[in-house]
Amino acid sequence: MSSSGPRQAAYRLGVLKGDGIGPEVVPVAVDLADLSARAAGLSVEWVELPVGLEAYGQLGDTLPQQTVEALHGCHGWVLGPVEHHRYDPRLSGMRNPSGTLRRLFDLYANERPARNLPAVPSRYEAVDLVVVRENTEGFYADRNVLEGDAEVLVTPDVVISLRVVTRRACERIAEYAFQLARRRARLRARPGRVTAVHKANVLRRGDGLFLACCRAVASRYPDVALDDVHADAAAYFLVRDPQRYDVLVTTNLFGDILSDQAAGLVGSLGVAPSLNSGDEHAMAQAVHGSAPDIAGSGVANPTAEILSVAMLFEWLGRRFDDPAATEAARRLEEAVGAALSAGVRTPDLGGSATTAEFARAVRARLAPGSML
């Protein structure tokens, strides 16, 4: 778990806009987050850095070395969506920035909350859960070996995919989940619960190790209950009865799938935030992709990106024991909720507001006297 460090006079945060709708939603999120930070007395220096297809065009690399070096000097950063299925891995300089950054900075925990937001049409009510996904190993061929790739083409018709599960990664992700459940229990004044999602019935060794680690960590948290569920049953129960869950902790691939499913339970990918964090750094990153079908039309929903930056502020608040950062996060979330409650909605939520109109509505709630 990240240890807390000395409070900083100012925080340096990187801004990596990404591809597709990234340049539409990231600047909006940064602008609103900055306003919220100022109101809360939090000093932030935003540093824009090249990434993605634009960086490849200009510098021949989707994740230029200068960006990586600058990020080492940042407390955290915002990464917009990257259109990595368009990146050709055979070309040098076409790395997937998202996976590479998670690995380079050991951002092992991906926290993906799914909860109902005010006035957002949704299939369910009273959903308030978080998927905690292990981020650095599992079935992800691009990050679970030191060199090369963990998918092997044995013959033209046979592929072997290797999955990596380590005790260290399982223990620290379980620890993260229990800490989170404890914080949520305090805030909500009810007992905390962690559900370990696995397939130890089939993947006996890998998921068996994961489950054993969750149980070992649970013994240090007598105030938080632990139960477990097979990944297929978790998908079933999420659709039947999502209110039953509090914190779900799981390995990389199951977490990827179940967190998108959870986003669908509460409305749209456009409102699903996430944070990737390690012991030293954190990266705000909306769950959604680059949405090429709507890129350039000015109607993308910036909510997921804004709420991801709010999660980054919350993380700064914990990491540096800084109440101003926590307050900036609270203000930002409240302003988004107020704009949605007033009925300002982008088309993915059934409304007709543009990205800019939604941003203006949030801005007006953050700084009531400001220009609309």
Kindly indicate which of the ranges 161-169, 230-238, 247-255, 286-294 contains the residues binding ligand ATP, using the contact rule CB under 6 A. 286-294
* Shortest distance (Å) from residue 87 CB to ligand ATP: 11
Task: State yes or no: residue 213 binds ligand ATP (CB under 6 A).
Answer: no
**Residue with the shortest CB distance to ligand ATP:** 289
Q: How far is Cα 51 from Cα 97, in angstroms, rounded to an integer? A: 7
Please give the order of strands across the beta sheet that includes 109-115: 44-48, 11-16, 76-79, 282-284, 275-277, 109-115, 128-134, 247-250, 192-198, 224-230
Question: What are the DSSP calls for 179-244, one per residue?
Answer: HHHHHHHHHHTS-EEEEEEE-TTTSTTHHHHHHHHHHHHHTT-TTEEEEEEEHHHHHHHHHH-GGG
260 is catalytic: yes
CA distance 243 to 237: 9
For CA atoms 161, 164, 170, 172, give the dihedral sign. Answer: negative
Q: Which is nearer to ligand ATP, 212 or 269 (CB)?
A: 269
293 in contact with ligand ATP (CB under 6 A):
yes
Counting every residue written for the chain, the total comes to 372
DSSP 8-state class, residue 115 = E
Query: Site map for ligand ATP, 74-113, x if CB under 6 A?
Result: -------x---x----------------------------
The residue within the footprint of ligand ATP, chosen from 136, 259, 290, 308 (CB under 6 A), is 290
257 binds ligand ATP (CB under 6 A): no
If one asks whether residue 51 binds ligand ATP (CB under 6 A), the answer comes out as no
Q: Is 227 a catalytic residue?
A: no
Q: Does 39 bind ligand ATP (CB under 6 A)?
A: no
Shortest gap between Cβ of 54 and ligand ATP (angstroms)? Answer: 16
C-beta neighbour count of 98 within 10 angstroms: 25
Catalytic residue among 56, 140, 176, 245: 140
The verdict on 310 binding ligand ATP (CB under 6 A) reads no
Give the list of residues 6+ apart from residue 337 with CB closer than 8 angstroms, or none.
117, 118
Question: Which window, 86-94, 112-120, 143-151, 288-296, contacts ligand ATP (CB under 6 A)?
Answer: 288-296
Report the alpha-carbon distance of residue 219 to residue 241 in Å, rounded: 28
> Alpha carbon of 25 to those of 172, 187, 365: distances in Å?
32, 30, 18
- What is the rounded distance in angstroms from the CA atom of residue 74 to the CA atom of residue 79? 13
CB of 23 to ligand ATP, least distance (A): 13
275 binds ligand ATP (CB under 6 A): no
The residues in 313-372 that bind ligand ATP, with binding defined as CB under 6 A, are 348
Burial 54-75 (b: 16+ CB within 10 A, else e): ebbeeeebbbbeebbebbeebb
Task: Please confirm, yes or no, whether 256 is among the known catalytic residues.
Answer: yes
**How many chain residues bind ligand ATP (CB under 6 A)?**
16
- For 289, the token pair is 């992709």
Which residue, chain included where needed, has tokens 């006079």?
A: 9
Q: Binder to ligand ATP among 288, 331, 345, 360 (CB under 6 A)?
A: 288
Among residues 106, 128, 260, 279, which one is catalytic? 260
Residues in 165-204 at the binding interface with ligand ATP, rule: CB under 6 A:
none
Let me know if 232 is a catalytic residue. yes
Least Å distance between CB 179 and ligand ATP? 28
What residues are labeled active site?
A: 140, 199, 232, 256, 260
Residues near ligand ATP, by CB under 6 A? 21, 25, 81, 85, 269-270, 288-291, 293-294, 300-301, 304, 348
